[in-house]
Amino acid sequence: MRIERINTWLTCGDPHELEGLFAHADTLRHEHVGDEVFLRGLIEIGNYCRRECAYCGLHAGNRRIARYRLSADEIMEAARKAVACGFGTVVLQGGEDAAFSKGFVADIVQRIKGELGIAVTLSLGERTAEELAAWKRAGADRYLLRFETSDNVLMEAVHPPHPEAPGRFETLQALRDLDYEVGSGIMVGLPGQTFATLSRDIALFDELELDMIGIGPYLPHPDTPLGQTQAISALDCGSHDTEAAAPALSDQVPATPDMVYRAVALARILRPDANIPATTALGVADEGHGRLRALAAGANVVMPNCTPVRYRSLYEIYPGKDSTSEAEETLAVLCDQIHALGRTVGVGAGKSPSFLKRADRNRV
């Protein structure tokens, strides 16, 4: 799809046409990745971070949160719980923290693979090719690293470079070279993100040949530089006024659930073989409906939180995350919702067809 067409969909004011977009994405989802919804157990392994991301509640300068790291045994305990819930994958996510060293992460990956045999996904920020290679050798299967926005100037402003961090696109390239299943994505409605930028972001999903695409609304956090200066809020924006004149290319993208559904649907159309989660942030922004509506607009993955409840409230990248429900409770609700959509809960690791096809191509 050409970038102009992406922009037309993002700015479309006709609800009827938009229903057509969501239905088309849903059909492609059914044809390419089937009716299974895969559940990934998210384990937030620590909130220490060396970075100063202006949007994220875990940024290094935030003195208002207590910092924590899970021990290897605590991570194992959470991973066992994820397996008991039937999840075929765990995602180990955390801040960019030197304590999650090459050796520590390699050991934990090896332990999870050895004892539980499930797929392991890492999401630990920008790391060196050497670290990524060691973790792949230890058995890591996948890596998630959002590029957040394709606008370099905006990215530098909200995500200042760090002398020891390789950069997002460099890390994504290293992951590809190492044969990881590669996930990336964006926040929708980041202050400064225009419709022109968002169209380019979405086109990049295809150029980067992503296997997994995570898209969520930007949610302002009061203890962040951006949250303090920006009044734009996903909740304040309300719904996009579909009767108004179409927005211009240079207009700020609203951080609304509606805009995220459009981006999810377009991501499915551009990358029909990718795994696309209905993200937690969307669940927060469109309370009660977000995940379901995303699942009906192209998404096929949900990531229930398996972090020990005692640490949950400390991993506050944005406000409003559910920090009390045990994974089992979330699972029961999710399963009912998935069945109500006429879908089934995925069994096994749920590799993306996009990755499987690339692996096949590389073999010949």
Binding site for ligand SAH (CB under 6 A): 55-56, 93, 95-96, 123, 125, 145-146, 148, 187, 216, 218-219, 221, 281, 317-318
Which C-beta is closer to ligand SAH: that of 55 or that of 311? 55
Which C-beta is closer to ligand SAH: that of 28 or that of 165? 165
Which C-beta is closer to ligand SAH: that of 28 or that of 122? 122
Which C-beta is closer to ligand SAH: that of 21 or that of 234? 234
Closest separation in Å from C-beta 93 to ligand SAH: 5
Closest separation in Å from C-beta 327 to ligand SAH: 19
Enter the tokens of residue 310.
């005692």
Closest separation in Å from C-beta 261 to ligand SAH: 16
Closest separation in Å from C-beta 96 to ligand SAH: 6
- The rounded distance, in Å, linking the Cα atoms of 20 and 25 is 9
Closest separation in Å from C-beta 171 to ligand SAH: 9
Q: What is the number of helices (H) and of strands (E) in the chain?
A: 16, 9
* CA 135 from centroid of its chain's CA atoms: 20
CB–CB of 100/94 below 8 Å?
yes
- The rounded distance, in Å, linking the Cα atoms of 124 and 89 is 16
Which C-beta is closer to ligand SAH: that of 39 or that of 91? 91
- The rounded distance, in Å, linking the Cα atoms of 63 and 137 is 36
CB–CB of 240/254 below 8 Å?
yes
CA atoms within 13 A on the CB side of 286: 19
Among the listed residues 292, 298, 294, 299, the one whose alpha carbon sits nearest the alpha carbon of residue 333: 292
Which C-beta is closer to ligand SAH: that of 21 or that of 145? 145
For residue 142, list its beta bridge partners: 121, 181
- The rounded distance, in Å, linking the Cα atoms of 135 and 232 is 39
Closest separation in Å from C-beta 323 to ligand SAH: 15
